[in-house]
Structure 1
């Protein structure tokens, strides 16, 4: 079963309650972060809450890399910052971090080309040339060109 939750940034705590209900019994949780502000305090609180269950696997998806002019130059720093922040939290030290773009995925599913505008073309070309799918993001963007 796959559930999407409203997250946790709600002053009236309504979203948090809905999220907590949806998480009961979950074995894998994918937390979507923004490439512009990966792992803010709200995100960190949610991830710590999710990770309280020992049997739960946490995956972080850093979305919106399509909005970075040259994703390969930013991904390693974002990855390092996330792991530096999570290091004090025991089992979150080795959380899997995946980078991508929901916009690019939606366009691909609809048969559209994300390289129609100049910004999209630059970001997509950069990521396609440098992403090394499956590689450790810390090495991305650091190799000689």
Structure 2
């Protein structure tokens, strides 16, 4: 995984959140490509059509139309071709029961969407650094939630 070709996929139906994410990513010293999809059906179609060129990471919103983020996570982790894709839950929810379930279902990390731009830059950078350091190993439950 070289710095110049880090591919990020963001699945989020909120246009403002997508722009906020893109702007934060642009300000980081990462050379990365961002692709966005707007709902769960579009996400799964994109992944199935790009099996030979999957992104290095998927940031996945939970509340999306047509197919929820949770449904997508389950499909990804049940697929032999997709299960190694690191899935970062990127949500406004802070429900501990939901977080525990997502951890058990194979999500890599959990980020509660920050309202502050500097915090967003921090969690994106921290997440990508962790992925590179840990070589996509599943973290302990204590390391699962990335906070500012």
Give the shorter-chain TM-score range.
Answer: 0.3 to 0.5
TM-score (norm 2): 0.40
TM-score (norm 1): 0.40
Query: Bigger radius of gyration, 1 or 2?
Result: 1
